[in-house]
A and B are shown apart, each in its own frame.
Chain A
Amino acid sequence: MSASPRIAVVDFGAGNLRSVAKALERSGMNPDVTADPAAVNRADGVVLPGVGAFADAVASLAKSGLDDAVRDRLAARRPYLGLCLGLQVLFDEGDEHGVTPGLGVLPGRVERFPDQTPDGEQLRVPHIGWNTVKFSGDHPMLSRLPDEDCFYFVHSYRAIPNRASDVVGRVDYGGEFAAAVAREGMFAVQFHPEKSQSAGRRLLDAYAFWVSGS
C-alpha cells in the first residue's frame, strides 16, 4: 500500500469537513471529501464526521445511498473511523427530535444526557469542553494510544451501547458513558480529534497507521 492512504471523508451535508480533511492530511493521509458511494467503496479508509441532528444525518445518508456504502465497508471490516455523529448513527436508534432508526450496526440507543447526575446534582447540558477518556480493550488503534488522553467534546446526546464489549473508551460526565466504541474494522469516537490539538493528532496518527497496515 502507498505511504499515503486514500481516505473517503463522507460528506452528507453536515457542516464543514475541511478541518477534518486538513487534520487527516496532517497525519499523513490523503483525504477525499465525497458524497459518492463508489468513492467510499474504493477508499483505503472511511471517515464519517459530522455535527448536527441524528435524524437529519440518517436521512441524508439514506437519500444519497451512502448508508449502504458505509454498511458495506463495515461488513468488509475496512478501517472505519466515526467522529461524533459518525459514532451515533451506528446505533439502532436515536431520540433527538423524535425516535429515528440509525444504521443498526451496533446494538444500543442514542439519548440526551439526563438533567441530573446519579447523586442528584444538576448536570449542565450540552457537555462542552475537554474531558479525559480512558481507553481499554482490544483494537489495533489502542496499541498506539495512551491509556488516557484529554479530548474536546461538544454534544447533548450520547450513545448507550447494549454490549459493554463494544466500548473501548470511557469518560465521566454525570456518570460514565461511551466516548469510544470499536469492533473489527471499526473505531468511532464521540469527541472531536480534529479539534483536540496534540491528543487529536495522536488518535489520527494511530488511524493512519491502522489504515496503512490493513
Chain B
Amino acid sequence: MLLKRIIPCLDVDKGRVVKGVKYVDHVDAGDPVEVAQMYDAQEADEITFLDITASHEGRGILLDVVTRTAETVFMPLTVGGGVRSLADIRDLLNAGADKVSIMTAAVENPDLVGEAAVKIGSANLVVAIDARARSDGDGWEVCTHGGRRPTGIDAVEWAAKMAQLGAGEILLTSMDCDGTKGGYALEMLRAVSDAVSIPVIASGGGGSADDLAQALDDGPAGGHSQAALAASIFHFHETTVPDVKRRLLELGIPVRKPSPAAG
C-alpha cells in the first residue's frame, strides 16, 4: 500500500535555513544542504525547501542550494517560493528538484497551472495554498504573499479548481496554526482533502508526533491528508523523524518503518 509521508520543511532565506513563528522572528537553523543530509540520514520521506528570499539575486543562491542538495542527497526534494513562471519551474527541475510548488503565481495566473501540467506533467507540480479561517467563521480564505494578503477566495473551492487544472498535489498551510505547534487545522484539511482527488500535504501547526497522526488519520475526526509537513519540531532537535514514525506506527498510521541506521 501507499504509505503516508513525513516531510521536514526548510524555510530558506539567502541560502540559509530559517524558521519563524507566525512568519516573523526568523532564527538561523543552518546550511540547507547539511540539514537535508541530516534528514536523509533520518529517512525522512521527502524534504521541502521554501524560499522566502525577497530579492531577485536570491534565485541564483537558491538554484545553487538545490543543485548541491540533489548531488548529495538521494531522496525526493520539493522546492517552492517565488516561482512565477514556466521558466522558473524548469530552472528548479533542471537544478534537481523533483517537484516544484507554486502559490501566488497560481492565484494571479491560474492558466500557469494548466500550462505547466501539460508541459511538465502534473506529477511534478504542487500548488501551495496558504489559508486562514474567515472571521465570520464561514470557511477558509486563501492568502498570498507569505500569508499577508487575503484574496477572498474560498480555500476548498480553490483547491478543487487547482486539481481540475492539473495540479498534482496540494500543499495546504494553515496561517492560523503555522508556527504555533498547537496541532494542524484538521477541519480545513479534511474539507480540502475530501474535495480533491489528488494528494494533500498538511502544513502549519505540527508540534508533536500525535499532531502529525491526526493530520494523516483517515477517520471521521482526522485530517485525511497523505503527507504531513513540519519544521521546528525537527530543526531544533525536539524529536527526530524515526521517533515520530515509530509513534505513528504505534497509532496505526501506515508510514515507512525506520531502519536501524535511521536512529
Contact = CB atoms under 8 A, between A and B. Distances in A.
Interface of A: 15-16, 18-19, 22-23, 26, 51-53, 97, 115, 122-132, 150, 152-156, 172-173, 192, 194-198, 200-201
Closest 6 pairs (CB-CB, A-B): A126-B123, A19-B70, A16-B96, A130-B3, A195-B76, A130-B256
Contacts of A126: 122-123, 168-169, 198-199
B71 A124 contact: no
Contacts of A192: 76, 98
Contacts of B120: 52
B124 A125 contact: no
A106 to B, nearest CB: 22
Contacts of B168: 126, 128, 156
Given A124-B197, A126-B168, A156 B121 contact: yes
Given A22-B72, A152-B75, 11 more contacts: A19-B71, A22-B74, A53-B121, A124-B226, A125-B198, A126-B169, A128-B169, A130-B3, A154-B99, A154-B124, A194-B74
B182 to A, nearest CB: 27
B123 A156 contact: yes
19 contacts: A16-B94, A16-B97, A22-B70, A115-B197, A122-B197, A124-B199, A125-B197, A126-B169, A128-B199, A129-B3, A130-B5, A130-B45, A153-B2, A154-B98, A154-B99, A196-B74, A196-B75, A197-B43, A200-B74
Given A18-B70, A129-B5, A152 B123 contact: no
Contacts of A115: 197
B93 A155 contact: no
B122 A123 contact: no
Contacts of B124: 51, 154
A159 to B, nearest CB: 15
Interface in B41-100: 43, 45, 67, 70-72, 74-76, 93-99
Given A126-B169, A128-B169, A200-B74, A15 B197 contact: no
A52 B3 CA distance: 24
Contact of B96 (A19, A122, A128): A19
A52 B121 contact: yes
Contacts of A150: 3, 256
Contacts of A125: 197-198
A154 B76 contact: yes
B1 interface: yes
Among A19, A23, A97, A131: residue with most chain B CB under 10 A: A19
B259 A131 contact: no
B128 interface: no
A125 B197 CA distance: 7
B198 A124 contact: yes
